[in-house]
């Protein structure tokens, strides 16, 4: 962490960009590239912590950005990051929803959708890889992630419950 004060305008722009380029909701790979590697506002551990906390919060799980903003620049940073991440995308969505009803049969719109879907899949897998490099650093951690995945995938358990359970296991094991 640097002790230099974070420029809030820069923070706003960075998070607005991150919001607008996350397809399918989560672009952890780019979050890490921008916040950890490029701006150095947070470290990899904070990135993983915030993502985990985001799973436990009411509402969208990418509220991790509020945590990252807080880590970077306190309460103003948290509010700035949240506004930057959600504001432009929500505005865009509202506009698209109003325009869509007239153009949803346009062939180029269909082509764009088909071009975007595989990209979204790749983005989300890349995010899993980046997050895994930080979170899964030992065999017990790998096992815990595996068990959690099987529980979620096979039983459809509530993810907040699984994440809380994993937190208890982690504390007991001293991960």
Partner 1 sequence: MTRARSGDNPTTSPAASPTPSALARMFVVVALAGIGGGLPAHTRRALTSRGWMTDEAFAETYTLAQLTPGPNAVNLAAMVGARLAGRAGALACTIGVLTPGIVAMLAVSAVALGQAGGLPPAVQSGLRGAACAALAVLLTAALPVVRVGWGVRGGPVLTALTFLALGVLRLDLLPVLLALVGVGLLIHRPRPNSEKA
Write down the H helix ranges in the chain.
8-20, 28-31, 44-54, 64-103, 107-135, 139-150, 159-173
125: exposed, middle or buried (Cβ count in 10 Å: 0-12, 13-18, 19+): exposed
Is residue 1 part of the contact set for partner 1 (CB under 8 A)? no
Residues with Cβ within 8 Å of 161's Cβ and at least 6 positions away in sequence, in order, are none
**Residue from the set 8, 39, 61, 76 that interacts with partner 1 by CB under 8 A:** 61
Identify which of residues 39 and 89 has a Cβ nearer to partner 1 in the complex.
89
Q: Cα–Cα distance between 24 and 121 in angstroms, integer? A: 8
Q: How far is the CB of 68 from partner 1 (least distance, A)?
A: 9
Q: How far is the CB of 7 from partner 1 (least distance, A)?
A: 19
Q: Cα–Cα distance between 127 and 103 in angstroms, integer? A: 32
Is residue 35 part of the contact set for partner 1 (CB under 8 A)? no
Is residue 91 part of the contact set for partner 1 (CB under 8 A)? yes
**Residue from the set 14, 70, 80, 84 that interacts with partner 1 by CB under 8 A:** 70
Q: Cα–Cα distance between 8 and 94 in angstroms, integer? A: 26
Q: Are 18 and 34 in contact (CB under 8 A)?
A: yes
Identify which of residues 9 and 94 has a Cβ nearer to partner 1 in the complex.
94
Is residue 76 part of the contact set for partner 1 (CB under 8 A)? no
Residues 2-31 within binding reach of partner 1 (CB under 8 A): 19-30
Residues 156-175 within binding reach of partner 1 (CB under 8 A): 158-171, 173-175
- Angle at the Cα of 21 (from 34 to 148), degrees rounded to 5? 80
**Residue from the set 7, 9, 94, 103 that interacts with partner 1 by CB under 8 A:** 94
Identify which of residues 9 and 103 has a Cβ nearer to partner 1 in the complex.
103
How crowded is the C-beta side of 40, counted as CA atoms within 13 Å? 5
x-marked contacts with partner 1 along 110-149 as a string, rule CB under 8 A: xxxxxxxxxxxxxxxxxxxxxxx-xxx----xx-xxx-xx
């Amino acid at each position: 962490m640097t002790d230099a004060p974070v420029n809030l305008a820069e923070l706003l722009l960075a998070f607005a960009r991150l919001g607008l380029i996350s397809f399918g909701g989560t672009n952890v790979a780019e979050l890490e590239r921008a916040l950890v590697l490029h701006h150095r506002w947070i470290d990899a551990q904070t990135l993983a912590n915030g993502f985990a906390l985001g799973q436990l919060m009411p509402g969208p799980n990418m509220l991790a950005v509020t945590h990252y903003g807080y880590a970077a620049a306190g309460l103003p940073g948290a509010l700035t990051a949240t506004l930057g991440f959600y504001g432009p995308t929500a505005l865009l969505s509202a506009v698209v929803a109003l325009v869509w009803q007239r153009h949803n049969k346009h062939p180029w719109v269909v082509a764009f959708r088909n071009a975007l879907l595989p990209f979204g899949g790749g983005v989300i897998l890349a995010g899993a890889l980046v997050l895994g490099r930080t979170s899964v650093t030992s065999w017990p951690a790998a096992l815990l992630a595996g068990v959690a995945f099987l529980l979620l995938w096979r039983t459809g358990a509530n993810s907040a419950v699984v994440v809380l359970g994993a937190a208890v296991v982690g504390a007991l094991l001293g991960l």
